[in-house]
Structure 1
């Protein structure tokens, strides 16, 4: 009786081996060939991305993503060859993907925005940009955020979704930027005279570009004085240095030319110190 059972089990094992052995061999062959093909395809994708000008930050990520997707496809094919029921697995993966997507909704938005930034390239590393009221030089462009170095030597980590949802000012796009310096003059003073004084002062400020020429004009009129706007052009990296130097030069020129100013706490005209 026991011999008959053993014989029955042995026969079942042989039947299973005959049924699964060819599938196991086929699965192993598919795994070997499939992964070799995936490796070649990933190399081709990486080369194509490099030729089309994708950024160095985005290329490794896209190549890795393509590799994971292709290898996953090979494993699904192998599971199908082995006779596994993929319906339940697909449902579980879909539910898990939905749950992860809901949990990481903000991060996924930053991720999608990072892909757009790295693809469309509205700015690059080294550019001076302004996002809302945040101003600085781009230090790093990542998948989820952009690192910006402020003139105060602080690193701002700006989520990429903020960049794509806001107006971005790229000061480096044209190779130069225009300063916006506000200066006041009293009503009784001659504007052409003050304009010439400011123009002469700017000529002594290094790093102000000769072309385009600085613009000097009347901005508006308030209760105490006339607001002037002074707009010299500089290279992006010289923004703050020229701002401070130009303001200092204008103040010194006003002092030497005895240009009076009106103080906001009264209407009395007072002198200006050096």
Structure 2
């Protein structure tokens, strides 16, 4: 009986020592892997934060800052996870191969989506427009509200949101109305043939030259554009700062009409004159 008790005690001691050995060996590895992950994650956040601050001080576009920060963070996290798994003794070569194969399969399945990501990279680095620009593309116009990896969101003048896939956007024509600091307003006014052409030109030019937001250089232009069926077409070409475009266009249109009324200059409208000739029946 005593021998059996001693035998049981030996087994208990053996398994206890074995458990302690495994706990010590793998516990240290697990603790090391956790430390690698959490410390690495903390370091990455600090690096990303420093990179963002440096890019902001360098006046880098906000979209590029966001894209670069997210790409760096995701890439570094993947490296840290692989390092933590490797510390546990897991063979990471096969893991990387499986990850690569899965990435290839996902890439083939989502090729259209990934083309939008590629287009986003082109937009961010070549910057045909940026957040806040007013653009026309794919048959729509609006202010660029946001640019992400898959799509660009425009806000129209009547406050609608239009989401355009980046692949579609980069594949067509893009008109950036706010890409330059100044912009020309193309305006057309029509006066009656009976009105004094020289007076009308002086009236329009005076409105342009006295408007405080019309630029002196390039100088505004007023010229005869065409002799139409219903009247004489006057072309006005003032230059303004981009942010004043719409306000100046509306204000000049109203001012020209008021000045035309003051100088008795008429704006003709389509009409037809009928001449009835009496004849013998």
The 3 A distance-change label for structure 1 pair 154 and 177 is farther
Tell me how far apart the structure 2 counterparts of residues 207 and 150 of structure 1 sit (CA, whole Å): 25
Match for residue 252 of structure 2?
246
Match for residue 46 of structure 1?
49
Tell me how far apart the structure 1 counterparts of residues 133 and 78 of structure 2 sit (CA, whole Å): 39
Question: Deviations 1:167-188 (Å, cap 9, x if unpaired)?
Answer: 4343334433221112234567
Question: Deviations 1:62-82 (Å, cap 9, x if unpaired)?
Answer: 434433333332332343444
Tell me how far apart the structure 2 counterparts of residues 182 and 132 of structure 1 sit (CA, whole Å): 27
Q: Is 1:157 matched with 2:147? A: no
The 3 A distance-change label for structure 1 pair 213 and 158 is farther
Match for residue 202 of structure 2?
196
SS at match of 1:44: helix
Of 229-238 and 25-34, more deviation after overlay is shown by: 25-34
SS at match of 1:244: helix
The 5 A counterparts of 1:83-162 are: 83-86=89-92, 89-131=95-137, 133-162=139-168
Tell me how far apart the structure 2 counterparts of residues 151 and 21 of structure 1 sit (CA, whole Å): 67
- Bigger-Rg structure (1/2): 2
Tell me how far apart the structure 2 counterparts of residues 133 and 192 of structure 1 sit (CA, whole Å): 40
Q: Is 1:209 matched with 2:215? A: yes
TM-score of the aligned structures, taking structure 1 as reference length: 0.70
The 3 A distance-change label for structure 1 pair 91 and 170 is same
- 1:32 aligns with one of 18, 30, 35: 35
Q: What is the aligned-residue RMSD (CA, Å)?
A: 4.2
Tell me how far apart the structure 2 counterparts of residues 79 and 12 of structure 1 sit (CA, whole Å): 27
Q: How many residues align?
A: 266
Match for residue 177 of structure 2?
171
Tell me how far apart the structure 2 counterparts of residues 248 and 27 of structure 1 sit (CA, whole Å): 76
TM-score of the aligned structures, taking structure 2 as reference length: 0.68
The 3 A distance-change label for structure 1 pair 57 and 45 is same
How far does residue 60 in structure 1 lie from its aligned partner after superposition? Answer: 5.0
SS at match of 1:152: coil
Match for residue 271 of structure 1?
none
Q: Is 1:228 matched with 2:234? A: yes
How far does residue 192 in structure 1 lie from its aligned partner after superposition? Answer: 4.0
How far does residue 199 in structure 1 lie from its aligned partner after superposition? Answer: 0.9
Tell me how far apart the structure 2 counterparts of residues 245 and 204 of structure 1 sit (CA, whole Å): 12
Segments of structure 2 that go 5 or more residues without pairing to the other structure are 1-6, 275-281
How far does residue 231 in structure 1 lie from its aligned partner after superposition? Answer: 1.6
The 3 A distance-change label for structure 1 pair 64 and 151 is closer
